[in-house]
Structure 1
Amino acid sequence: PPITSAWGLQECALLQWISYSLGLTQVCLAILFLVLLSWAWIIVVHYLDGLYGDRNIPWAGDHSFAWVPSWAIWRHFWDHLPISLVKTAELPPDRNYVLGSHPHGIMAVGTICNFATEGTGLSQVFPGLRFSLAVLNCLLYLPGHREYFLSCGACSVNRQSLDYVLSQSQLGRAVVILVGGANEALYAVPGEHCLTLRNRKGFVRLALRHGASLVPVYSFGENDIFRVKAFAPDSWQHLLQVTSKKLLSFCPCIFWGRGLFSAKSWGLLPLARPITTVVGRPIPVPQCPQPTEEQVDHYHTLYMKALEQLFEEHKESCGLPASTRLTFI
C-alpha cells in the first residue's frame, strides 16, 4: 500500500496489538526484575502488594476505565483488517445475557475487538448494556495483560466471577464467553469452521442459574487472519498441543501472518482479512438455581441450532460459498 498517514497509524496499531499479545508480560516482568535490583526496588514491592490486595478484582469485572476501550488506536487496527459488528436483534437492557462467541481462532481478535473496546461502537450498537469479556484467570494475574484486560472491563471466566457479575441488582449485564477456548486454536485453519461445542455446557448452566438469555455470536473471518501449521491427530506434535492444553490451559501453535512493510512478506502481523462478528437473536432462558441435566441439554441443543442457523443466514454475505458447513466437535 502507499505510504500515507492512515497506513502508518494502522501499522502502529498492528504493532501495538501483536506486541501486547505476544510480548507484553515478558517485557513487564523484565522491567520489574531490573527495578527490583535497583534503588527503586520499593516500587516493585508496592506493585506486588497491590496485586495481592486487589486479587479479588478480576472476579467482579468492575475495574474498567472508559477511556481505554475508546483509544483511537483500536479504531485504526479495526480499519486495517477491517472488523465490523452486525446486530440481528435488539438486546433490551432490562435483562442479563450470556453471549457465546465463536470461533476462538489464534488470538480471538474479533471477540476482543468488538466486546472489549469501542473500536466498532459497541455502546452505540447495544445501548444500555455493560459487557464483560470473560478471560482465563491466569491472564488477570500477568503484569501487563492484567492492566489491559481489567481496564477494558474483563472478568475471570471462573464460576465465582461469572456468578458475581450476573447476580448484580442492576440488570443489563452481558458476559461474553469464548466457549471453545484455546482448544479451537488447533482448528484455526483458513477456510475451516470447526467449533468445540458439543460437550461445552457450562455457559448454559450459568445462563440457567441466573435466567440470563443465551446469545450466539459468530465471527466470520477469524480463522483467516493467520496461517497455521496443522498436525496430524496421531503425531507427537498434536499430542504435545493437547497435553499443553490440559496442563497449562493454552495450545502452542505454529502460526504466521504478514511482515511490517509488505503483505507478501512473512511475519506475525495479522493478514488484512475482514472479520464480521454477527450477534444473533437472544434465546430466553428461565431461572433455575439448580438446573437439571435435562434442562441443560435442552437449552444447549437450542443454542447449537440457533448458532447453526445464524451461520447459514450470514455465511454468503460474509464471502463464504453456499456449500460451507459448520462443524461441531
Structure 2
Amino acid sequence: MKSVQKQWLEVLSAYYYVLTFLFMGPFFFLVILFLLFTSFWSVSVLYLVWLFLDWDTPNRGGRRFEWIRNLPMWRHVRDYYPIKLVKTTELPPDRNYVLGAHPHGVMCTGAFCNFSTEVNSFSKKFPGIEPSGAGLASLFNLPVYRDYLLSFGLRPVSRQSLDFILSQPRRGQAVIIMVGGAQESLYAIPGKHYLILRNRKGFVRLALRHGASLVPVYTFGENDIFQLKVFATNSWQYLCQVTFKKIMGFSPCIFWGRGLFSANSWGLLPFARPITTVVGSPIPVPRSLDPTEEEVDHYHMLFMEALEQLFEDHKESCGVPASTHLTFI
C-alpha cells in the first residue's frame, strides 16, 4: 500500500514530464526573448553566444549527464503507471543497433523512461550498450530545452547526427528511433494498435549503411494513458493536422487525461495505465554504403514480420486481447 506522500510524488513527477514535454521549449524561448528587453539582457546575450558556439553539438555526439538520467523523480514516474522494460534476448556489445520503436503515442513515455533514463536499469540488462534516443531535429534549436534533451542522451533524428553516432570506433551504440514519428501520434487511440510503418524505410537505410542490426521494440499501453480526439482522414480538421505537421514537423492533436486533484475531471495528468516496453531479437544487417531498393525492402519486410511476431508473443501477458492484431499504415 502506497503512502499518500508516495502517491503525490508519483502524480507530480508524471505531471512534470507532461509539462516539460509540452511547454518547456516555447517557455524558455519566450524567456530568452523577454530578457533581451530588460535589465537582464546580458543573461540572454551570454546564453545566445554559448548557443552559437555549441550549435553543432547535437549532431556531433551530443552530451549526456548520468546524474540527470538517474534522478529519483524518474522512479516516481515509473511507479505511477507503472512502466516496465522486458528483455527477450541479449544484445552483444560487439556491434551497433538501430532500435525501431512503436508506437509513438502522445508523448513517448515508455520509450523515454526505458531508454533515456536508468529507472529500469537498461545499462544492467544490456551491458555495454549505449542508448541514444532520436527526437525531432527542430527541438534541438530551442534554447535551454535542447540542453535539457541532450542531457538524457537524446539526439536529433537527422542523417548527420545518427551517422555520427553509428560511425564511432566504440561498438555497442544503439540508436532508438520512433519510426512512426509525429504522424503516428494521430493514431494513439486507447486499445488500438495502428502503426505508421509501411512507407517508413529511412531507419532501414541507416542500418544498412552502417551494418547495424535492426531491433524491433514495442511498448504496450503507450496509447492507453490519454484519450484522443480522432478526426476522419477526409475531414478538414485532419487536413489541418497533416498540413501543420508538414510545416512544423509535429502533429497537433487533441488529447486529455484526468485532473490533477480529481480522477473524474479532465486534465493533462495521464491515466495510470501499465506501460511495458518489449525489446525484441536483433536482425543481422550487412553493411551496404549505397543500399539498393531491393535490399531496403527486404530488411524492411523482415523488420515488419519480427515486430508483428513480437507483438503476438507478448500481447496477452500485457493485457491485450488475443483477437487484437497490429494494423500497418
- Which interval holds the TM-score relative to the shorter structure? over 0.9
State how far apart, in whole Å, the 2-side matches of 1:80 and 1:133 are. Answer: 22
Q: Partner of 2:195 in structure 1?
A: 195
Contact persistence 1:215–1:283 (CA under 8 A) = yes
Indicate how the Cα distance of structure 1 residues 167 and 2 shifts in structure 2: closer, same or farther if over 3 A, else same.
Answer: closer
**2:317 aligned partner, one-letter code:** S
Equivalent residue number for residue 309 of structure 1: 309
Task: Say which is worse superposed, 34-43 or 95-104, in terms of deviation.
Answer: 34-43
Q: Is residue 70–residue 119 contact of structure 2 (8 Å, CA) maintained in 1? A: yes
The corresponding residue for 2:116 is 116
Question: 2:292 matched to which residue of 1?
Answer: 292
Give a deviation string over 1:89-114, Cα, whole Å, max 9, x none.
00011100000000001111111111
CA RMSD of aligned residues (A): 1.3
What does 1:1-329 align with in structure 2 at a 5 Å threshold? 4-329=4-329
Which secondary structure state, in structure 1, belongs to the residue aligned with residue 316 of structure 2? coil
Contact 2:26/2:142 (<8 A) preserved: no
Shifted more, 140-149 versus 84-93: the winner is: 140-149
How far apart, CA to CA, are the structure 1 residues paired with 2:240 and 2:112? 27
Structure 2: which amino acid aligns with 1:315?
K
Q: d(CA) in 1 for partners of 2:286 and 2:39?
A: 58
SS in 2 for 1:219: strand
Q: Distance in 2 between matches of 1:153 and 1:217?
A: 18
The code of the aligned residue for 2:198 comes to R
Assess if the C-alpha contact under 8 Å between 1:36 and 1:42 holds in 2: yes
Q: Give, as a single letter, the amino acid of the residue that structure 2 aligns with 1:43.
A: V
Q: Which secondary structure does the structure 2 equivalent of 1:176 belong to?
A: strand
The whole-number CA distance in structure 2 between the counterparts of 1:312 and 1:292 is 31
CA contact (8 A) 2:157 2:177 kept: yes
Counterpart residue type for residue 226 of structure 1: F
The code of the aligned residue for 1:197 comes to L
Q: Compared with structure 1, are the counterparts of its residues 154 and 2 closer, same or farther at alpha carbon in structure 2 (3 Å cutoff)?
A: closer
Q: Distance in 2 between matches of 1:44 and 1:51?
A: 10
What letter matches 2:139 in structure 1? L
**C-alpha separation in 1, matches of 2:170 and 2:324:** 41
CA distance in 2, matches of 1:328, 1:27: 36
| 8 Å CA contact retained: 1:61, 1:132 | no
**What's the secondary structure of 1:187's corresponding residue?**
coil
1:159 is displaced (CA, Å) by: 0.5
Contact 2:51 2:143 in 1 (8 A): no
Identity of aligned residues (%): 58
Measure, in 1, the Cα distance between the counterparts of 2:61 and 2:111: 17
Contact 1:103/1:180 (CA < 8 Å) preserved in 2? yes
Deviation for aligned residue 1:88 = 0.2
Aligned-residue offset at 1:121: 1.3
Return 48-57 or 310-319, whichever deviates more: 48-57
- Cα deviation for residue 240 of structure 1 reads 0.5
Distance 1:28 1:246 in 2: 24
Contact 1:61–1:154 (Cα < 8 Å) also in 2: no
Post-superposition shift, 1:62?
3.4
Please state how far the C-alpha of 1:25 moved relative to its aligned partner: 2.1
1:143: how far off? Answer: 2.4
SS state at 1:217 partner? strand
Structure 1 pair 126–2 and aligned structure 2 pair: CA distance change class (3 A):
closer
Q: Structure 1 residue 50: deviation in Å?
A: 1.1
How many pairs were matched up?
329
Letter matched to residue 169 of structure 2: S
Greater displacement, 177-186 / 51-60: 51-60
Q: TM-score, normalised by structure 1?
A: 0.97
Contact kept in structure 1, 2:210 and 2:288, CA below 8 Å: yes
Q: Secondary structure at the match of 1:128?
A: coil
Aligned partners of 1:194 and 1:150: how far apart in 2?
A: 30
**1:87 partner letter:** K
Shift of 1:145: 2.4
1:3 CA drift (Å): 6.4
